[in-house]
Structure 1
Amino acid sequence: MASQLAPQPLFAALVEALGEAAVITAGDRLDYLAADVYRTGGLPIAAIRPTSVPALQAAVRHCAAAGVAMIPRGGGASYTDGYIRPEGGHVLVDTGAFDSIDIDEANAVVTVGAGVTWANLKTALAARGLRTPFWGPFSGLAATVGGSVSQNTLSHGSSAHGISAQSVLSLDVVLASGELLSTGTASALRYYGPDLTGLFTGDCGALGIKVAIRLPLLPVLPHAETLSFAFDSFAQFHAAARRAQLERLDDSWFAIDMALSQGQIARQEGMGARLQIAAAVLRKSPDKLKGMAQVLRMALAGENPMRAGDYMLHFIVEGFDPADAAHKARHLRRVLDGIGREIANTVPAFVRSLPFAPLFNILGPGGERWVPLHGVLAHDQAVPFDNAFKALVAARQAEMDRHGVWLGTMFSPAAQVGFLYEIALYWPDSRNAFHDTTLGAEYLTGIRTFPEDKAARDFVERLKGELVDLYQDHGAGHFQIGRAYPYQQRLAPAARRLLGAIKTELDPRGLMNPGVLGL
């Protein structure tokens, strides 16, 4: 793909500020950075990878002087056009070189660069027996702390501690003027007056470029029980999930339907994967006899847990010692008694042993293209939404079949009160530069390749829009808003004016990631 030429004075200024190796204006790397999991946007005129805050500040000032839009990018595991600008012509800021980790055990705080992946942070903290409350999404091998805070996300630790934003103490942000803003105090107290930190969580980079994030520390609880339950209806499953969420006994729970269990998830269940899981379970089990018993149960279960019910709900319950974890597990069983049936715990044992799996699932189990979308629902809207969703799918089934489109659903707790309902769409279509670069030639050798299918892609885009509208009809909120979900129109007039005033104050020329959040 041909690149536009960067304006020469700006290009020269960026090279002077950052060094030639940190400025890309053409080639495969630029094509990769212009794409996300879902689609390819317009090409940046340049991509930069600053290695220090002063260098980034200088680059931002040069872009601002030239009137060129700036779009920050984290690990790239996004699918809502968060760093995709359809018209191109921007400078993309790759924050991956901000990868420092400063652990302050005395004050129970860790300061991390925005480009640190959750997997690397977990490794660094685990060596000292520490963790953060929320400790990453399933895509944590690639997803960065800065990207997750900008987009808001959930997964590991969300049941007990909420979403990513709820674990942030303060942020350092480079504004559109090049000024460095710190939202915190010397005492690392977030709520010292109005919550300035909260302004920049979930902003999708519209208010500035994050360079450092401070998070609180907790001790790792080394003992865990994993439990799985099966349900024959969504209403049964949701009733169980709501009860469990109110109890807050587990560190994490997640659920999948039959389609994903036998598709995406079951793809992990080959013999090689099972041996890796077994080895990881034994390695991480403080009690080797108990670990061996767990491996034996998994072997006897085979793939049956993948077909145990229409919905499967999985828990990871942690404790200070085996008795603590076992006590919580027993109570959770009592809470769910009479709603579903307990099944072999193969899936949560896998997630416990390998929380950040390789990003193979950015394609479907047969090599199909994939895009998820989600809504965070109030509990009283979960069943009505599910009914409406299934009615919409029934109405579109003939078109789905004609285009080879299929779907599945996943579910998670969103903080302590929200219920995240995620829909994954799959369709036959050609890959883009993001898939090829992320997965690599060796992996893709064994994956089916599809020709470009614009008709299927256009249908998926229309169906995606209908599903977003359906979420809105049921009052859903969203993470990873980017350019994919409505935001401003959901705000009251006074709130919309306040948001606009904040954007104008921090970015008067509208150069920071224009278009996200509808700004």
Structure 2
Amino acid sequence: MAGQIKAGARMPDNLPPHDPITGLTADISAAIGADRVSLSPERRALFSQDIWSKAPHPVDIVVTPTDTQSLAHAVRLAAAAGLAVLPRGGGMSYTGGYVGAAPPALLIDMSAMDRVLSIDPDNMRVTVEAGCTWKALHAALSPLGLRTPFWGPLSGISSTVGGGLSQQNAFFGAGLYGTTSESIIGLRVVLSDGTMLTTGARRPQDGNPFYRFYGPDLTGLFCGDCGALGIKAEITLRLMPLPAHEGYLSFSFGERDQCLAALADVVRSGIAAETCAFDPALARVRMKRASMLSDVKALGNVIAKQKSIMGGVREAARIALAGRSFIPDECWSLHLTVEGRSAAAVEADLTALRAIGRRHQGAEVENTIPKVLRAQPFTPLNNVLGPAGERWVPVHGIVAPGDAIAAQAAVEEALATMAVELTDACVTIGYMLTSMSTNSFLIEPVFFWPEAREALHEATVEPGILSRLPLQAPNPTVTALVARARKAVVTALQPFGAAHFQVGRTYPLSQDSDPAAFALLRAIKASIDPDHRINPGVLGLQD
């Protein structure tokens, strides 16, 4: 009964005396513990914003379940009470992934469901709770000589496996193995009525999936759904042995199209485990942002990663001698990592990649960037603010490798029409490029602009870094200009059929999809969440 609390349960602090959700708060507190429920204005405000946006109204309740059962209780009670239920992983969305639902709303904070539940080397699988970070998963697997094929985004210190699966990710391992969903075997998902749904073929001995495909791929249905179809509770991923050897290459290019053509050929070759390229503007920002302390930490990690102390010292010495000026000014740069079972295999791959770089007039430069990325893959997320305390936000599109040069040109042409406004407003734009498997090329413009930081930035950036950053004044006019620029990028990429990760409330999935396919998605949503309680508004399902 609403308002009835089991013996020993304590109501959360700051409960408004006549709040319409008092009964729900009491019920959830009774079911999973009052310490798992927060009505704190500060916490509600923090969890009502992402990197880019703030909700007009803060969520009404924040619930932090500790296991699948308590998650199911909270979802069932909230949905039955008529609240929107918003899942939040690491909070690194920049597309309104969990921000913007009309009140009343309850946010599920997945941070306490962070355990690695089981590691099964015999059957090469690992099961985690959805709030487990990629960094924690990698740390649990590495001592066993194992990893997942795709093993995390650059934000993996905070980003969660569940968030990555809901939004999709690029980076570590993506060049060979694709994005997050391509390393998944099966799921346990909580639906809007609290029902627990499982996918994948499961061993009766332990109930965990060992193989994804048995009939239609229901696991895939929940990949990239932004949490619209259900809240992921447990995730089982494939395992593979850690590669015995790694190699690294970096090139500089005098022209943009040389760099993009080289990266497109690298993508098609299927050789590189990770790829990334930067334009000169973003490279300059990265160099400004780096600190001497981070340089020292990076060198230490490079030394530790080598197979011998002397080898580590030699690698660190090369990086130190190269400093931060190894990429010529006004050059684009391309950075590649390869991995393999033998040194000979890695060397053969490096030879093939060198040939690609040279074919496109690339000059080989010190391989500091890919080497450091592998040595310390999950660094603190100080880059959510610019080097002068500016706000930061990306936007992106994924195109076919053969369209990369034309798509990049279209993006730059679209932004050139706004160049005077952007320059006058002190908006800086850089570009990062990367890839997934042999058939996709990601273009990501990144914007820096003067605007006041929010609570999420202050909770994310390391205190020592944050204390040295200047405070920017509120600047809503320029933020609105950046919003227009982001939209212009999305529009420029539409003629190429661009796909997008973390669709959220930003990318036009309904407009870009086949009408029959999107009608099917709507029908599935209506079947399992008829009242649109779970993350309403994402994917354009309420448009």
In the alignment, is the contact (CA less than 8 A) between 1:376 and 1:414 conserved in 2?
no
Structure 2 counterpart of 1:99, one-letter code: D
Which residue number in structure 2 is paired with residue 366 of structure 1?
A: 388
Please, which moves more after superposition, 219-228 or 170-179? 219-228
Give the whole-Å Cα distance in 2 for the aligned partners of 1:225 and 1:209.
39
SS of the residue 1:315 aligns to: strand
In the alignment, is the contact (CA less than 8 A) between 2:490 and 2:507 conserved in 1?
yes
In the alignment, is the contact (CA less than 8 A) between 2:73 and 2:194 conserved in 1?
yes
Equivalent residue for 2:42, pick from 13, 25, 28 = 28
Q: Deviations over 1:236-293 (max 9, x none)?
A: 112111211122222111111111111135422x322222111111111003333222
1:505 aligns with 2:527: yes
Which residue number in structure 2 is paired with residue 253 of structure 1?
A: 275
Which residue number in structure 2 is paired with residue 393 of structure 1?
A: 415
Give the whole-Å Cα distance in 2 for the aligned partners of 1:125 and 1:309.
40
Matches within 5 A, 1:32-431: 32-41=46-55, 42-85=57-100, 87-101=102-116, 102-186=118-202, 188-268=210-290, 270-307=291-328, 310-339=331-360, 340-431=362-453
In the alignment, is the contact (CA less than 8 A) between 2:164 and 2:180 conserved in 1?
yes
Give the whole-Å Cα distance in 2 for the aligned partners of 1:25 and 1:172.
28
- Structure 1 length normalisation: TM-score? 0.96
Give the whole-Å Cα distance in 2 for the aligned partners of 1:395 and 1:59.
49
User: How far off its partner does 1:398 sit?
Assistant: 1.0
Structure 2 counterpart of 1:19, one-letter code: G
In the alignment, is the contact (CA less than 8 A) between 1:403 and 1:455 conserved in 2?
no
Q: Deviations over 1:379-420 (max 9, x none)?
A: 232222222222222221110122111110001113320100
User: How far off its partner does 1:68 sit?
Assistant: 0.9
Stretches of structure 1 that go unaligned for 5 or more consecutive residues are none
SS of the residue 1:304 aligns to: coil
In the alignment, is the contact (CA less than 8 A) between 2:302 and 2:312 conserved in 1?
yes
Give the whole-Å Cα distance in 2 for the aligned partners of 1:290 and 1:57.
51
Give the whole-Å Cα distance in 1 for the aligned partners of 2:502 and 2:294.
30
Q: Deviations over 1:126-179 (max 9, x none)?
A: 010100000000000000000000001110000010011111111110000110
SS of the residue 2:335 aligns to: strand
Structure 2 counterpart of 1:466, one-letter code: A
Identity of aligned residues (%): 38
Give the whole-Å Cα distance in 2 for the aligned partners of 1:435 and 1:143.
15
In the alignment, is the contact (CA less than 8 A) between 1:6 and 1:46 conserved in 2?
no
Structure 2 counterpart of 1:246, one-letter code: R
User: How far off its partner does 1:305 sit?
Assistant: 2.4
Give the whole-Å Cα distance in 2 for the aligned partners of 1:292 and 1:223.
17
Structure 2 counterpart of 1:98, one-letter code: M
Which residue number in structure 2 is paired with residue 496 of structure 1?
A: 518
SS of the residue 2:112 aligns to: coil
Corresponding pairs, count: 517
Structure 2 counterpart of 1:399, one-letter code: E
In the alignment, is the contact (CA less than 8 A) between 2:177 and 2:436 conserved in 1?
no
In the alignment, is the contact (CA less than 8 A) between 2:380 and 2:462 conserved in 1?
no
Please, which moves more after superposition, 334-343 or 216-225? 334-343
User: How far off its partner does 1:54 sit?
Assistant: 1.6
Give the whole-Å Cα distance in 1 for the aligned partners of 2:515 and 2:413.
34
Equivalent residue for 1:13, pick from 27, 39, 46 = 27
User: How far off its partner does 1:445 sit?
Assistant: 1.1
In the alignment, is the contact (CA less than 8 A) between 2:264 and 2:404 conserved in 1?
no
Please, which moves more after superposition, 146-155 or 375-384? 375-384
Q: Deviations over 1:42-75 (max 9, x none)?
A: 3111010011222221211211221111010101
User: How far off its partner does 1:310 sit?
Assistant: 2.4
Give the whole-Å Cα distance in 1 for the aligned partners of 2:250 and 2:296.
21
User: How far off its partner does 1:309 sit?
Assistant: 5.1
Stretches of structure 2 that go unaligned for 5 or more consecutive residues are 1-13, 204-209
Structure 2 counterpart of 1:57, one-letter code: A
Give the whole-Å Cα distance in 1 for the aligned partners of 2:75 and 2:391.
35
1:360 to 1:43, Cα distance in 2 relative to 1, 3 A: same
Please, which moves more after superposition, 134-143 or 42-51? 42-51
Please, which moves more after superposition, 76-85 or 313-322? 313-322
Give the whole-Å Cα distance in 2 for the aligned partners of 1:470 and 1:46.
39
SS of the residue 1:498 aligns to: helix
SS of the residue 1:420 aligns to: strand
Give the whole-Å Cα distance in 2 for the aligned partners of 1:399 and 1:389.
16
User: How far off its partner does 1:6 sit?
Assistant: 5.3
SS of the residue 2:202 aligns to: coil
In the alignment, is the contact (CA less than 8 A) between 1:230 and 1:309 conserved in 2?
no
Give the whole-Å Cα distance in 2 for the aligned partners of 1:297 and 1:388.
39
1:451 aligns with 2:473: yes
- Structure 2 length normalisation: TM-score? 0.92
Please, which moves more after superposition, 367-376 or 275-284? 275-284
Structure 2 counterpart of 1:292, one-letter code: V
Give the whole-Å Cα distance in 2 for the aligned partners of 1:109 and 1:178.
26
In the alignment, is the contact (CA less than 8 A) between 1:174 and 1:209 conserved in 2?
yes
Structure 2 counterpart of 1:372, one-letter code: P
Structure 2 counterpart of 1:166, one-letter code: E
SS of the residue 1:107 aligns to: coil
Please, which moves more after superposition, 297-306 or 201-210? 297-306
Q: Deviations over 1:86-141 (max 9, x none)?
A: 53421000111212211011100000110000000000000101000000000000
